[in-house]
Amino acid sequence: MKIIIDSIHRFWNKQTKDFGQVRVTEMIEKLAMKTFPQLTSEQWKEGMSGHGGTDMDSETRIAWKYACTRGILLYIAICSRIIHENE
């Protein structure tokens, strides 16, 4: 969770407004590889194409929409701001 909070500022609208879906997925892949060093590129590509079509892509979209409708992202953004202000 700390890695997500520390990194969320890179995924806000202003930072990603000129990026396509594949580019954002590549950014998330780099974060996942840093977080889980045992994760291989092959495993990632099998699950997350960046343009739909896999079960993981679909599950991620559903989880994202759920989080957005529940205000979870707002909570993470607030926590991130508090943490960075206190550093």
Under the banding of pLDDT at 50, 70 and 90, the label for residue 82 is: low
Query: CA geometry: angle at 35 spanning 31 and 36, to 5°?
Result: 115
CA distance 28 to 85: 24
Contact assessment for residue 27 and residue 10, using Cβ atoms and an 8 Å cutoff? yes
pLDDT tens per residue, range 54-68? 777 777 778 777 777
Contact assessment for residue 24 and residue 30, using Cβ atoms and an 8 Å cutoff? no
Q: Which of 7-11, 40-44, 61-65, 83-87 has the lowest mean pLDDT?
A: 83-87
What was the pLDDT predicted at 84? Answer: 64
CA distance 85 to 7: 14
pLDDT tens per residue, range 3-30? 777 887 887 788 888 988 788 888 888 8
